[in-house]
Chain A
Amino acid sequence: MTIDTLRQFGANVDEGLERCMGMEDFYLEMVELGLSDERFNTLGDVLDSGNFDEAFETVHALKGVIGNLALAPLYNTICEITEHLRAKESVDYRALYDKLIEQRKQILEME
């Protein structure tokens, strides 16, 4: 993962770097730390179980972190899930979750 590949992925790298006071290594380290969050994995089970309150708390926490890292496509998906859960809407959460995991995988697998 590099600054360039993150940019290709669609991350708002300039914004993320600004929050890291322009320190590229620090930014990449924070992205790795943010993406390794165990809650990406537990979110799927919680959604499947239908416990929307717990799912909301989990995804809301991820939103705070990923938003700060300016990983735009991933952040947009998280926001979408968050808002559906906040409104307690019945949507196909499994599809949205798969999309989220796929986007995360893309970043993690970037050279």
Chain B
Amino acid sequence: MNFDNSQLDIEAKYERDFRRTILIVDDEPVNLRLLGNILGEEYDVAYAQTGKEAISEIKKQKDLLSLVLLDLYMPDGNGYAVLDEMRTNEELRDIPVIVLTSDKSAEVESLHRGAVDFLSKPYDNPEVIKARIRRSIELSIGRSIIGATGVDKLTGLMTKEYFFRYSQEYDKFHPDQEVDAIVVNVSKFHLINELYGRNFGDRVIKVIAEGVRNASRACGGVACRTNADCFYMYIEHQENYDFLMRTLSNLLAEMLEVQDIRLRIGVYPDIYHSVNLEQRFDRALQACNLLSRNAGQDTLSVYDNRMHEREIYEAKLLGDIEKALLENQFKIVFQPKYDIHEDQPELCSAEVLVRWKHPEYGLVRPDFFIPLFEENGRIKELDRFVWQEAARQVRIWHDMYGVKVPVSVNVSRVDIFDPDLLEFLKKVISDNNLDPADLHLEITETAYTDSVNTMIEVVKSLRDAGFKVEMDDFGKGYSSLNMLTSLPIDALKLDMAFIKDIAENNKEMSMVEFILEIARFLGVPVIAEGVENAEQYLLLKKAGCDIIQGYYFSKPVSSSEFGHLIERNLGCFK
């Protein structure tokens, strides 16, 4: 099979400049130089004179080597050992090997051990050698690329696997080409499906895919779709990305009127080929993920040193979770909640928050490590730790002061999908001899809008078991009014952003009043968080808000401080 670029969605612009790399392994300098001379015009040639040197060279250049020419008999152990090691190493297995031998009987044996062809000594006519080498490389590329299933059904782009295979081959063929790894993400894409239906969502994806494909081709590269709303591009390095941005932005703007749906583009320019292909895309993804999902316009970010430092910091934090749990580096604190129905605000509950005092970095910001844990599937352990600690504390206060003060804890999106969730929570409650109603569960609104049916089902089962469920960050997500009516909840928590700018009769205040109306319609109380001053408090009280938390009344306090607070306000609970 021929390696046909046009068939594979790419046009190599400067083909004559691109060279593959071949490693020649032979202990005889004369043989090395003869072959090097034959192949040097067409290929970049690397040399090794022993089996050991060969393996080390192959490992070093694994992403670059198109073929190994291997002499079978060398003084330090024969070429078979090299063949065997390559076949057992997943990363080296796909590099084709042609053995060099003057021994007819060795030919069959070497084919059995994974060689793709053999060249006999004395060497054939150079043209024959070159033709056989060329063919072996083509066959190997064909096999590896065909092995990866090719096309994404919806968009006609490459699949992720195929794309990576292809890009690896591209690198081998264009070792000196400066490249860009690019990730294009449609933020809040689930909204399109929700607001307009899946068919329209698919149409949007197809249009963006077409844009991504055209932009990639124009930049001498390829593209794939990696999941619902994410595309990867591997293109020649660009001086700037205006063209890409303009092409994709225009397409999206033509399709959609919804201002919230935006493109986020992350770029990793790999000028020096210093990291491997996967790492390049990891970094592009990281640059992309640092862009806000809530930006009012399409945004693009290029990976830089700052991000590299952050990557290392994140990896360190993720690696330290278990130790931190074991060594009690996580502490829970309590953000008091006040009922504001009466003239004087009355302490009624607290939201449990978590702090991490890292031995090396000191206090790590929760708005940094919590999303990090969420993204990396590590939040479950931390959530469970917090629930257990919170329940233990409620028990202690009950024993000390004779009152039960309910607290609310956060339940992350991934917890919802954990089949074990209800059982675990029940156990936490029974271990501490509490009622389920003593533990309020805060579930963020965006979790509801992501997968409505599962969410409603799980929340129902939690409420049936007696837990109180509060919808957190209300207003941040996109609950439809229709969904709200079918939603089983016990309280709405207003997103902080709504409170921030409220003033008498302004737009923000009208919004808050509107939400309070909805809550009244649903028959659930409203909790406002982030209340920082008297003006906000009075406005919210006047508008009929039920419960308030925030710095105006108290910052988050330690468990012993909250205990004192309970002691001073015992009247509120009896």
Contacts and interface: CB of A to CB of B under 8 A. Distances in A.
B490 to A, nearest CB: 84
B523 interface: no
A34 interface: yes
A104 interface: no
A65 B28 contact: yes
A15 B124 CA distance: 9
A20 B34 contact: yes
B2 interface: no
A34 B38 CA distance: 18
Contacts of B125: 18
Contacts, number: 52
A70 B122 CA distance: 8
Contacts of B30: 30, 33-34, 65, 68-69
Given A33-B30, A63-B102, A68-B30, A21 B122 contact: no
A69 B37 CA distance: 14
Interface residues of A, number: 20
B126 A67 contact: no
B73 A18 contact: no
B102 A64 contact: yes
B31 interface: yes
Contacts of A23: 37
For the residues of A in contact with B, the DSSP-based class is helix
A21 B28 contact: no
B37 to A, nearest CB: 6
A26 B27 CA distance: 19
B34 A64 contact: no
B26 to A, nearest CB: 8
Interface in B156-197: none
28 contacts: A15-B122, A18-B126, A19-B34, A19-B38, A19-B126, A20-B34, A20-B37, A21-B38, A21-B126, A33-B29, A33-B30, A33-B33, A57-B73, A60-B102, A64-B31, A64-B102, A65-B28, A65-B30, A67-B102, A67-B121, A67-B122, A68-B30, A68-B31, A68-B34, A68-B121, A68-B122, A68-B123, A70-B122
A69 B34 CA distance: 9
Nearest to A63: B102
Contacts of B33: 30, 33
B122 A30 contact: no
A57 to B, nearest CB: 8
Given A33-B33, A60-B73, A60-B102, 8 more contacts: A18-B125, A18-B126, A20-B37, A21-B126, A65-B30, A67-B102, A67-B122, A68-B31
Nearest to B121: A64
A70 B38 CA distance: 16
A101 interface: no
Contacts of A1: none
A18 B102 CA distance: 19
A61 interface: yes
Interface in A27-68: 30, 33-34, 57, 60-61, 63-65, 67-68
A65 B31 contact: yes
A18 to B, nearest CB: 6
Nearest to B124: A19
A15 B123 CA distance: 10
Interface string B52-75: 000000000000000000010101
Contacts of A68: 30-31, 34, 121-123
B34 A61 contact: no
A100 to B, nearest CB: 17
Contacts of A63: 102, 121
A63 B151 CA distance: 51
B37 A26 contact: yes
